Amino acid sequence: MTTDSPTVAASGLVCRVGAGVIGGLAGGVVFGVMMQATDMLPMVARLVDGESVLVGWGVHLAISAFVGTTYALIFGALAEVLVASTVLGVLYGAVWWLLGGLTLMPLRLGLGLFVLDSAAWQSLAGHLAYGLVLGLTYALVIPGRLGAE
């Protein structure tokens, strides 16, 4: 009898996605604090036609949870090892800087694409910090690390 039943596989996927959401939200809080310090959250709110810091936080954390989920789905078991997960997280943060910070967000807001000004470099720092925390958190909360099975 094997343990690779559909129920066990689905349970593993749910656990990975849960760890991705937790890691994404943890990274999102760190990045969000950085954005709040540089008054960037109102710009994030503009993605949904808002303008307040509170709306910016909501949008940012929703995106953070989504990115954490995709991290879990893409990297899965490969990211269960702390060092690998941390490196993958930082690299994934850089990818999302290119995809989100330099491409999707400027497109949505009618701004220039791939503009490398001081705000872009601050965004890179935030995305790298996000990825670092995502990768660390994912590897630490994935089942088996904290005694969960």
What's the whole-number average pLDDT of the chain? 92
pLDDT tens-digit series, residues 86-103: 999 999 999 999 999 999
CA 18/CA 10 separation, integer angstroms: 12
> Is the full-model pTM beyond 0.85?
yes
pLDDT tens-digit series, residues 23-73: 999 999 999 999 999 999 999 999 999 999 999 999 999 999 999 999 999
* Contact status, residue 24 vs residue 62, Cβ threshold 8 Å: no
**Residue 31: is it exposed, middle or buried by C-beta count within 10 angstroms (0-12/13-18/19+)?**
buried
CA distances 111 to 31, 45, 68, 116, Å, are 21, 15, 26, 12
CA 102/CA 112 separation, integer angstroms: 8
pLDDT of residue 26: 98
